[in-house]
A and B are shown apart, each in its own frame.
Chain A
Amino acid sequence: MINKFSTTAADVVADIFDGATVMIGGFGEAGSPIELIHALIDHGAKNLTVVNNNTGSGHVGLAALIANGQVGKMICSFPRTANSTVFPDLYRAGKIELELVPQGTLAERIRAGGAGIPAFFTATSVGTPLADGKEHRNFDDRDYVMERSLTADFALIKAKEADRYGNLTYSKTARNFAPIMAMAAKTTIVQTSYCVEAGDIDPETVATPGIFVDRIIHVENPLQESTLNAQGRTYP
């Protein structure tokens, strides 16, 4: 019988290894799987390459993972956010690497990775420093730059509902990168607010089909980054 539900956050992140590439869902705090990130901090895997649109804020969640010295490289579009000091300080000190990617190129690289497409051409960034050193081609009188796809060893994402097959729905704009990261990672780990019976999610409204999901834990009332930061909380 297929059952992707697991009981503890510690169990589902236990095989994340040193040097792994980990995609973490979320756009700012919307969709950030904060309980899974904190489990990864407890687990302690180091020298991770993390793919996320941002670099977290305050000293919880992704910012705490970076502050804990577990991230060697960030791949993101916007590493500066209000209330974000952890990444900027480490970057200026030369202690963390940054691969800056336009947001749409980041999304498309992840989507392509999940779809088995090794590279693609886009007009985004042509004529800018972010296209330097990349292969260019002209199609129909317009210049395009080649971008490689992105895959990952693990994805950590947050869903609203999940069934035992791994079918998922999301909450509003907390969906953002989660569906494509689930496709691009070898192992996709989900925290969900609601565990539902197979069939409870209308097949017409499944946002991520279960084939892209490997492990699920139930986090009924997930923490919110802004709430924790307002309270001055830190992790661990």
Chain B
Amino acid sequence: MSLEKNTEAVGWTRDQMAERAALDIPDGSYVNLGIGIPEKVARYVPQGREFIYHTENGLLGMGPTPEEGKEDPDLINAGKKPVTALAGAAYFHHADSFAMIRGQHIDVCVLGAMQVAQNGDLANWSTGAPDAIPAVGGAMDLVAGVKTIFVITQHTTKDGIAKLIEQCSYPLTGQGVVSRVYTDLCVIEVTSKGFELVELAPNVEFDTVQDRTGAKLLDPRNLAEKS
């Protein structure tokens, strides 16, 4: 599952997306992982680094899923799945937990997305459909309070519709909050000038990524040539 060995496939798998995102998290970071692909980041801590995982329901020092039969209904993550507490862990109540988030003590948060706009706006809680039951959880607190917000998402929807776009059409989770986006095709930095390519996944062409992106994608290689 190493990034280097995958020379045949086009693009990254979900695990490789998580592995790539983990590479950008500095040693010693306090990290909050969203539900879904972001949870996989915990499997790919780069060698020599230590991350401390925060789960907003009241635990710092969250460890992996327990062995079967060792689950404790009192020890769960924000996705309400059984987890473990590592040596050095701490429990605390919800207001303290969100003080860690809202008070800018958590360094990195990795979240999923429905849409990301070129100015860093994020929509990941509601499609705004009238019959949907609205549910927000801690997403708005995380994007408002955590220092660095990474998004992991497929580059387009299952129907091929762009998720990285000029302006979000869904209700926002936060304004101008996303730093980087890790997709199956590439890594993109959100800059003051818009989306800028950082890295292409194996066997993916720039033009393919641009075709599947609903906003202008800046290629730093061209920028360098022109200047």
Contact = CB atoms under 8 A, between A and B. Distances in A.
A173 B59 contact: yes
Contacts, number: 141
B141 interface: yes
A105 B141 contact: yes
Contacts of B102: 104, 108, 122-124
Contacts of B94: 27, 103, 106-107, 110, 176-177, 180
Nearest to B83: A173
Contacts of B139: 102
Contacts of A101: 136
A122 B143 CA distance: 12
B92 A175 contact: yes
A122 B175 CA distance: 14
Contacts of A78: 135-137
Q: Classify the secondary structure of B's interface with A.
A: loop
B72 interface: yes
Given A126-B144, A175-B93, A77 B136 contact: yes
B91 A124 contact: no
Residue among B55, B92, B135 with most chain A CB within 10 A: B135
A88 B126 CA distance: 15
A102 B141 contact: yes
Contacts of A226: 73
Interface stretch (A4-12, A28-36, A40-48): A28-36
A178 B140 contact: no
Given A30-B73, A92-B131, A128 B138 contact: no
Interface residues of A, number: 51
A125 B98 contact: no
Contacts of B186: none
A211 interface: no
Which among A100, A110, A124 has the highest number of chain B CB atoms within 10 Å? A124
A77 B135 contact: yes
A124 B94 CA distance: 15
A63 to B, nearest CB: 14
A91 B59 CA distance: 32
Nearest to B93: A179
A111 B95 contact: yes
Contacts of B133: 79-80, 87-88, 91-92
28 contacts: A27-B76, A28-B80, A30-B73, A78-B137, A88-B133, A92-B133, A100-B134, A100-B136, A102-B140, A102-B141, A103-B98, A104-B56, A104-B102, A104-B140, A104-B145, A106-B94, A107-B94, A107-B97, A108-B95, A124-B141, A125-B140, A126-B144, A128-B171, A128-B172, A172-B75, A173-B58, A173-B59, A175-B93
The 3 closest A-B pairs by CB, nearest first: A104-B141, A104-B98, A127-B175
Interface of A: 27-31, 77-82, 87-88, 91-92, 98, 100-108, 110-111, 122-130, 170-180, 207, 224-226
